[in-house]
Every structure is written in C-alpha cells, then in structure tokens.
Structure 1
Amino acid sequence: MPSRFTKMHGIGNDFAIVDWREDAPRVPNAARVAALADRHTGVGFDQLISIEPARDPSCAFYYGIWNADGSPSGQCGNGVRCVAAWLYRDGAIERDTDVRLESPSGPVTVRVLDEGTVVVDMGEPNFDPAAIPLDMPRHATHTVHLEGEDVSFGAVSMGNPHAVLFVDDIADPRVDRLGPVLTTHAVFPKGANVGFAQRVGPDRIRLRVHERGAGWTRACGTGACAAAAVAQSLGLAAPVVQVDLPGGTLTIEWHGPGHTLWMTGPAAFVFEGEV
C-alpha cells in the first residue's frame, strides 16, 4: 500500500511526517526508515515522525520519532514544532491555544502562534546522570579523554541525552573530529547528542550539534535547549537566550530549577509525497 508523507523542516532540521491516526500502533522497520532517509535514493530526512492517537488520555495526540538510521528517539524539539504546525494546518488544533501532545519521553505543551511559529514547553532540564543516562557521578561538568586530550562537557536530558561543550569557535576542525567520538562514548550507554557551543554573550550562543543516529544536522531543537540550560547552570547565560544554529535561530527561555523550559521557533512545510 502507498503511504503519504509531508516533508517539513524546523530551521533546516528536516522530517518526513506520516499520519497514522487511523492505524494501530506500530514500529517501522529500521532498515526501511534508513532507506527512506537516504538523501540520494530515498526521501531524505533527519527523522521520521508519526502522528498517532494518544496513549495518555490527557493528551490530544501522540508522536513517534525515528532517527535517520532507524533507531528510535525520545524527543525532537524541531520535530514537535512541525507536528504542531501540521496538526494546525489539518484543523486538528487551534491557534493561540495550549495543546498537550504525547512524545515517547512524555507530555509536552505546544502553542501555535501563527502558521509558521510554534512555542513548546520542553519540560524542566534534568541533570541527573541516571536520567540522561550518563555513567558518571553528578557534577557541573564532566571530563573524558578523547583523541589524545581531556575534554570537558556539561550533560543534561531534554527527553533525550545531551553533552554540551563550550568552545572558542564552532568552526574549529577539532569540533568535526570530537563530535562523532563523544556521541558513541561508553559513558553514554544510549549514545548522546553532542553540542558545541560558542558563547557570544549572555543572551546569544552559536551552536553545532552532532546527533546520535543522524550525524551533523543543520539544527537540533533539544540541542539548543540543552546548550541554554547548561550555559545557565554554569552562570554563562541569561534566562532568555537566542541560539544560532546553521539552519537558523531559536529562542530559549528558562528561569532555572523548578521551572520548565520554553522554546520558540519556526516550522515550515516543504512538499507532500507518496512512497
């Protein structure tokens, strides 16, 4: 049977959105996802995202996430904005209204401001090593030996695991070398998304992210949230931060422990297709 999909992106982080609201819950074949994600012989995307009936009765819909290599993901900040925009265009949710959606990592609240801008309550950043998961004791920063040098990073869960390294210049060739190595380091039992952050000022960060299961992406919503949260935890950032990624800019607002983190950014439709 042919399957319809919608190609979307959030500041360059791109997705194939599939509507499974009328289907029984399913898990796609990993090899099939990887084949479709191929940018030369398939559709081409960073993640496949399904929209399904909610499992949690307090939520309007559920969305599933699979990386380009077919592995499942717990959360995707750019992806959830695209899900909200898709549901709004479909008439399933209304503008300027808080809607609770269910992700693989739990509920999130979204609000569509206009056709291309969505605000998401990403929950409270979790620095507990067991929640990330990270096989190291809890500290503000952690150090591992990589490629002949000691590398320090902050670690946090935004529904998926993140390491954040502050560097003088995100264009440093060292970044290209260290990203893939730390993504699969043994201290992260489930792998990690690795963000390289360049602090421009208390309210601005430049960021590149190497995502587990997808590699270098033009944008990573949860990565932007993680970078802002780690920066604030180290006293390097204000409560509201602009995070500049290769694909565009996200606004992150977090007022510290006990508060949820909010992300605001665009969601764009590219094309409809059938496979």
Structure 2
Amino acid sequence: MKVLITGGAGYIGSTIASCCADAGITPVILDDFSTGLRTFGRRFDCYEGDIADVALLERVLTEHPDIDAVIHCAAKIVVPESVAQPLAYYDNNVGKAITLLQTLERFGVRRFVLSSTASVYEPGPDYMVDETSAVNPQSPYAASKWLLERVLADEAATGRMSAVALRYFNPIGADPQLRTGLQNPAPSHALGKMISAHEAGQAFTVTGVDWPTRDGSGLRDYIHVWDLARAHVAVLERFDAAASGGYGVINLGTGQGTTVFELA
C-alpha cells in the first residue's frame, strides 16, 4: 500500500509516516515546510509545495499512480491565530482542501483520512464526549475542521469518495525511535511551554487556576503521538470498516484527563 501524507514533515504527519513505513505502507510526503522540517520529509519521496497547487498534485499523482489513500495533516492549527485571522484559516483548511479533493477524485484516489480535532465538540458538563456528542466549534480553527468534515461527508454521500475523520484530543510525546518529534521551536501547548521554561532556566507559570477541575488548572486528554500514528495505520488497514457507509468519525483519546498541575 502507498499513502500520500499531506503535512507529512510536521509533528504528527512525520510520526504517522514513520509508523506507516514500519507497517510496510509506503509514505509519499507533500509539505510546504511552513512549519514542517525538511529533515523529516526527505526520509521518503517528498514534494515541496501547497496542497492547492494543482500542477504539483498532478505531478505527484502521475509519478505515483499506485497511491491508495491520503492522510491529510496539512492545516493551520493555532487557535488564537485563527481568531485573529479567520479568513486565512478557512481558506487554508477548507478552500485549499477542496482543491486537493477535486484533484484526488479526478485521479481516482477515493480513500481519505482527515486529521481533525476533538475541539469541534460542544463542551459538556462532565467534559466527556463520544462520536455522537453535539458539535459546536468554539474557534475559527475548530470550525474550519468541522466544515471540512461536512464537505467530506457530503462528498462521500455521492459515492465518489470514502473518508474517515479522526478527531484528536491532545497529542504529546515523540516517535519512540526518535526519528521525528516536536518541530515547533515555540510550542503553544502546556508541555511545550514547560520544556521551553526548563531550557531557559525559568519558572513555569500556570495561568488558569480557577477552572472547575480537581485542582483548578486546565484539564486535557493527552494521547501519545505514537498511539495516534498507530491509529492512522489501523484505519488504513481496516479502511472499509472504518468508513462504513462511505464516511466515519473516530475519536482518538484516552478518556483520562490530566490537569496542568498533574502534568507539571
């Protein structure tokens, strides 16, 4: 099996690529390197460019006519930035993805796995959700993911493509073999800020301490990025079951929350 991984030089995409290779699945990487690292991408057949560059997509698909599926990880993902620049997020995460889908369909690639987010859900009173929980995105970033999910569901209904949306909670960790890892030098999540503070010899400050959690700090469901990657491989290997009826949604998390103080 051969799979095209968009954003395959980023933190999650590069880890998925390694996991695919370990499982005997050949990854082909497409990345614009706006955040991804070339050293992560060049381990495999790698193309530099935008997911909406039709000429580039045609070249990739012509040179690899045996691509069986796409794992789509290329997206803007910073929530505060999405609030400040919503049009850029909708353009990149929805508009450009539609161009990608149109080109894939034209070349007969009919299996699509979306890197989505659990932030599409309506926050519940007990903070627990499953795939049937109400959806109510709280940011342009989350809304852009939900809109693309809707696009995929509608396209799947035509029978021209099948898709699975994997809604992630909070990826953490690195490839156990350390082939790839967190590539962002200024990560915005809690663990990244802890590491940055440690490296700088500074104290790590918990800014929110009055949340309705067991110790007042923020609560997150952390999933190891390698488990996340293994889930993508499992979906590829069982795609028809995962996309039963043409479209499927699967949450990827542990169901166990960890507070910022517990993480620290």
Structure number having the greater helix percentage = 2
Please indicate the TM-score interval, normalised by the length of the shorter structure.
under 0.3
Structure number having the greater strand percentage = 1
- Under a length normalisation based on structure 1, what TM-score does the superposition of the two structures give? 0.25
